[in-house]
Structure 1
Amino acid sequence: PQASREYQLVENGIKTCMYPGYPELYMQLNKKCEFHFTPDWYRGIEYPKEQERGYDFNEDLYVPGYFEVDIKKGESIVFSAGISETTPRKLKQTFEAEVADRTPRDSFYHCLKNSAHQFHNQQEGEHYILAGYPWFKCRARDMFIALPGLTLALDEIDQFEDVMKTAEKAIRNFINEEPVGYKIYEMEHPDVLLWAVWAMQQYAKETSREQCRQKYGELLKDIMEFIRQRKHENLFLHDNGLLFANGTDKAITWMNSTVNGHPVISRTGYIVEFNALWYNALRFIADLVREGGDVYLADELDAQAEVTGKSFVEVFRNEYGYLLDYVDGNMMDWSVRPNMIFTVAFDYSPLDRAQKKQVLDIVTKELLTPKGIRSLSPKSGGYNPNYVGPQIQRDYAYHQGTAWPWLMGFYLEAYLRIYKMSGLSFVERQLIGYDDEMTSHCIGSIPELFDGNPPFKGRGAVSFAMNVAEILRVLKLLSKYY
């Protein structure tokens, strides 16, 4: 009874306001029409997804009436709803201009390209990448991992540079121990700077090392200096050349689910992908600065990489040929997880070809699904592949067997690295699994994660930046073989 059923006629439509203090809702068509006032309540609409998640799931919905309009065969009618009045005769023009501005969703690639553009977010003159829809902000790690795929893979180099302009300011503030001051969250996570280096490395491959050095050379040197001088409060360079981070009290890696304030998986100590990123960064920056004439720094970084690479193999590689997920003193995590695949995918790796192939084989055998790479092997303890139920139940499953599409990007890059031309048809077959996704969930995008067991149902956020980015990056890698 509190809801107002009042309405007033406006040009080719009506305006109505259900509650005081709400904005007016305008509904207009681009053609003369007749509004029939038939107010109805649809009671007890249920939202099963919300119910499954333990949220309110019941709602009553109000419909004020319907429009009747004469329409000729083949004619299109444009309907508009908004909180301000529009000029009906301009509706068709506005609609067509908006359509022209978007990538048509008429192919797998175009769907992904359209989706990629939707993660760009500009506020107050700064350029961010949102981690996903409907509820994610701009998270630092996600931004750097997604950036190459969302921009360089689409040949949008200026967009990469634009986002990096904002990101560089945030990185510099962080390194100089000033407040980050930008809407980029979780900048303090220990692997974020290393992922930033990886993103700039992709820029160097897409443009040239020369261009990368001119644009980002100083930033790359400063990041390395910051880590090597042990200035990061949770990233310690040990004498064996490996990076150590404390993750017992707080989740510090991308596997970041927490229950009651504690990480579900406390990955701590020497963490495998942190050190793969570190080795890759040392070698990449050494090569970059050597070409720029700074031989002294290059030799220093290469010497550091020698030590790091030797320790990496000693610490992480086990007798079964795969890599331990993290090592903390006497505590070694033997779970088969996907984080070792980065060591095969990156341009610079401490592993030799035979060692890389062993890692790839184990990931293929135990973690590969048609929708992504599992976060834990079914053979490992605690495997929990279905991301369903209330929040706490989902938090326990989040990284314990669910399949993540963005990891597939690195997996397929690793596959092409080992098998080259002979791996192409396999890679193409793997990508078919995502083609079906274009017509479910969020149309034309890829959701956050999938169940690790058949039928591999999509779950979580309906659209996820790192997933879209990495599939686009693989499509770009494939195009270089043809």
Structure 2
Amino acid sequence: MATVRRLAFGSQVCGRLDEGAAREWLVPDGRGGYAMGTVNGLRTRRYHGLLIVAGDTPATRQLGLAALDPVLTLQSGTTVRLATHEWADGTIAPAGHELLAGFELVDGLPRWRWRIGDVVLEREIAMVSGRPAVAVVHRLLTGGPVRLALEALTTWRDAHGERTAGGPPPEVTPVDGGCVVDGAYRLRGPDFRRGGDWYRGVRYRAEEARGLQPVEDLWYAGSFHAELRQPGATAQVSAWAGDLTDPPAAASTTVSAARARNRAIVAAAKPADDAQATLALAADAFVIRTSTGTDVVAGYPWFGAWSRDTMLSYEGLFLSTGRAEEGRDLLRGYAATLSEGMLANTADTGSVEYNTADGTLWFLHAVGRHVAATGDFDLAAELLPALLDVVDHHLKGTRYGIAADPADGLLRQGADGKALTWMDARVDGVPVTPRRGKPVEINALWVNGLATVIKLAFQARTGAGAAVRAHPDALAGFTRRFPAPTGWLYDVVDGPDGDDAALRPNQLLAWSLPYAPLRPEPATLQRIGSALMTPLGLRTLAPTDAGYRGRHQGSPAERDSAYHTGSVWPWLTGPFVAAWGKLGVAADQTLSDADDHLGEYGLGSVSETADGDAPHEATGCPFQAWSVAETLRARRL
């Protein structure tokens, strides 16, 4: 059986500040919380820490334990600080990364090794699946005896914000074996000694690069102490939220259990090679359980659950990984949110909105793929009334001007100030790419959705009258309206300024979906690939277009302006490969290029976006659901 790809870095990466800090690791807790940081230990984001706790939804997270800094005292009496911090004035102190001998992911779990002469100290981190609890194990590998102190730097604040010494410090209450911080989470370990100072001016260089507040203060709650007399000796610390009277298992037990679970996740996916195995484990990070059932985190570290992302990712996250039962639970749960023929889109504020033109159409696609893969006709029969209701509302008209045009059967959409397609970035409330009118991928999904509903109704031996009547008109309308004189498809027809022939990747869905309205032509796919393809996926706009932006960098406004006007989106690799597959052409080199990204940014995962211009530096979320899902699906085709 294929196993997860080994991702390891020696001192040449770990010991260089920029290189080691550019690669990030993630350990999820299965409910939307996580631990996250960098290869060399430098916290570069406000989101980095050892205990980030999800609330009622994954969108509402709090950061608790920020760091657990190891301090070694050698036999000689010399004290060596192994942490790495950056301060507001740019100072790096301590510089423990310079003592790192190596870092690796072992079954998805991070492991560090520091060497100080003949002393080698190892650290491992894991989380308890299904609860907000982290385990940190330090183990002496060679040398000794040594004394080890672990200094807890703490806070309790919204994961998107910061906390400073301008307000009250966290309340630290000593309890047996450790302390409770702000009544929210508990720390437990050996020989706890209370602290009580602000660490002022901690700097997050990644937030500064994103044009956000880069500085905050952390509270030194106290330290744990252990003497490691011989190789194999450990110092184990746990931190957890929720029921503070219910401690998790010993930290070393948690690490072993997490490693065994990750191996089982990979085995269940039956991967053909190490890339598929790595992506199958990456997919697991996004599948969570909440109080309402199974859900999907769109991306770490800052996204919550979004219906568009969830449904677009469904096939890769669930059907390509052997998780159909969990997927079934998710589809039933989301179906319950339908209103006026639209699927709820849970915003990262925790509120519920109905603001996508494609999320519901992706839902139709997900249900169809689930039934096709599993033969679950009971689910099809259960959901069919809701799916038929979706068709009825889209034919009659629903929110934001979403409605089928009787003249050609195509879906139109748009409302002032709204960006309803996946290209939904706004700057100062104004959509950057509003795409008002009849977008190509919306209508490819519409044709595909109608055919899906007809197929499900046939399997359930019931009628699908409205869909049956609408499908021929929509198919004929698509075939007639979207081919452009340029040799590719219009991105939008019947927009405020007429038909938009900008060369974008959205048209790939017109060929790649199971019931796609068109059959691909090699010359067209070659032209799209020539203009848009990069090693990480496709650009969102051709570089020859006057509106092209090749760098997804800078302030929030600058980044949002480039989000869909040139930035690369790895998820688009899926439809590109699928479109070529319809012609019997494999895209092995495209997938090989993407594989090389697994060790570059979010380790073992695929980033949200990248620069359109070379060298196509990865940007956005380091760990993104639909990027992983579509890359994995493409490898399974």
Aligned ranges 1:456-467 → 2 under 5 Å = 456-467=616-627
Return the structure number with greater strand share.
Answer: 2
Which of 446, 449, 469 is the matching residue for 1:278? Answer: 446
Aligned to 2:320: 153
Does residue 57 (structure 1) correspond to residue 214 (structure 2)? The answer is yes
Does residue 72 (structure 1) correspond to residue 233 (structure 2)? The answer is no
Q: Which amino acid is 1:73 matched to?
A: P
Aligned ranges 1:78-97 → 2 under 5 Å = 78-82=236-240, 84=244, 90-97=250-257
How far apart are the structure 1 equivalents of 2:205 and 2:399? 45
The alpha-carbon distance between structure 1 residues 381 and 104, as it changes in their structure 2 partners (threshold 3 A), is farther
SS of structure 1 residue aligned to 2:401: coil
Aligned to 1:475: 635
Which of 571, 583, 595 is the matching residue for 1:435? Answer: 595
Aligned to 2:475: 309
SS of structure 2 residue aligned to 1:361: helix
The alpha-carbon distance between structure 1 residues 360 and 450, as it changes in their structure 2 partners (threshold 3 A), is same
Q: Which amino acid is 1:318 matched to?
A: A
The alpha-carbon distance between structure 1 residues 373 and 150, as it changes in their structure 2 partners (threshold 3 A), is same
- Is the Cα–Cα contact under 8 Å of residues 337 and 343 in structure 2 kept in the other structure? no
Does residue 133 (structure 1) correspond to residue 300 (structure 2)? The answer is yes
How far apart are the structure 1 equivalents of 2:320 and 2:258? 24
The alpha-carbon distance between structure 1 residues 91 and 385, as it changes in their structure 2 partners (threshold 3 A), is same
CA-CA distance at 1:143 after TM superposition: 1.4
TM-score, L = length of structure 1: 0.84
CA-CA distance at 1:9 after TM superposition: 8.9
Aligned ranges 1:385-396 → 2 under 5 Å = 385-396=550-561
Aligned-residue Cα RMSD (Å) equals 3.4
How far apart are the structure 2 equivalents of 1:417 and 1:344? 8
How far apart are the structure 2 equivalents of 1:105 and 1:217? 31
How far apart are the structure 1 equivalents of 2:260 and 2:376? 36
Aligned to 1:449: 609
Aligned ranges 1:166-181 → 2 under 5 Å = 166-171=333-338, 173-175=339-341
How far apart are the structure 1 equivalents of 2:249 and 2:431? 57
CA-CA distance at 1:46 after TM superposition: 2.7
- Is the Cα–Cα contact under 8 Å of residues 537 and 594 in structure 2 kept in the other structure? no
Q: Which amino acid is 1:275 matched to?
A: N
CA-CA distance at 1:94 after TM superposition: 3.4
- Alignment length (residue pairs): 458
Q: Which amino acid is 2:440 matched to?
A: V
Q: Which amino acid is 1:220 matched to?
A: L
Which of 487, 506, 516 is the matching residue for 1:339? Answer: 506
- Is the Cα–Cα contact under 8 Å of residues 209 and 288 in structure 1 kept in the other structure? no
Describe the superposition over 1:267-320 as per-residue Cα deviations: whole angstroms up to 9, x where unpaired: 01111111111111222322333344446x46x645533322222132211122
Which deviates more, 276-285 or 80-89? 80-89
Does residue 414 (structure 1) correspond to residue 574 (structure 2)? The answer is no
Aligned to 2:368: 201
How far apart are the structure 1 equivalents of 2:488 and 2:410? 18
How far apart are the structure 2 equivalents of 1:91 and 1:179? 37
Aligned to 2:115: none
The alpha-carbon distance between structure 1 residues 126 and 401, as it changes in their structure 2 partners (threshold 3 A), is same
Describe the superposition over 1:82-120 as per-residue Cα deviations: whole angstroms up to 9, x where unpaired: 465887984433332233233489943333223322222
- Is the Cα–Cα contact under 8 Å of residues 288 and 295 in structure 2 kept in the other structure? yes
Q: Which amino acid is 2:203 matched to?
A: E
SS of structure 2 residue aligned to 1:69: strand
The alpha-carbon distance between structure 1 residues 229 and 110, as it changes in their structure 2 partners (threshold 3 A), is same
SS of structure 2 residue aligned to 1:311: helix
Does residue 225 (structure 1) correspond to residue 429 (structure 2)? The answer is no
Aligned to 2:489: 323
Aligned to 1:480: none
The alpha-carbon distance between structure 1 residues 184 and 207, as it changes in their structure 2 partners (threshold 3 A), is farther
The alpha-carbon distance between structure 1 residues 48 and 431, as it changes in their structure 2 partners (threshold 3 A), is same
- Is the Cα–Cα contact under 8 Å of residues 140 and 185 in structure 1 kept in the other structure? no
Return the structure number with greater helix share.
Answer: 1
How far apart are the structure 2 equivalents of 1:379 and 1:187? 35
SS of structure 2 residue aligned to 1:256: coil
Identity %: 26
CA-CA distance at 1:127 after TM superposition: 2.5
SS of structure 2 residue aligned to 1:73: coil
- Is the Cα–Cα contact under 8 Å of residues 248 and 268 in structure 1 kept in the other structure? no
The alpha-carbon distance between structure 1 residues 124 and 364, as it changes in their structure 2 partners (threshold 3 A), is same
TM-score, L = length of structure 2: 0.65
Q: Which amino acid is 1:69 matched to?
A: E
Which deviates more, 142-151 or 284-293? 284-293
Which deviates more, 380-389 or 245-254? 245-254
Aligned to 2:204: 47
How far apart are the structure 1 equivalents of 2:516 and 2:246? 58
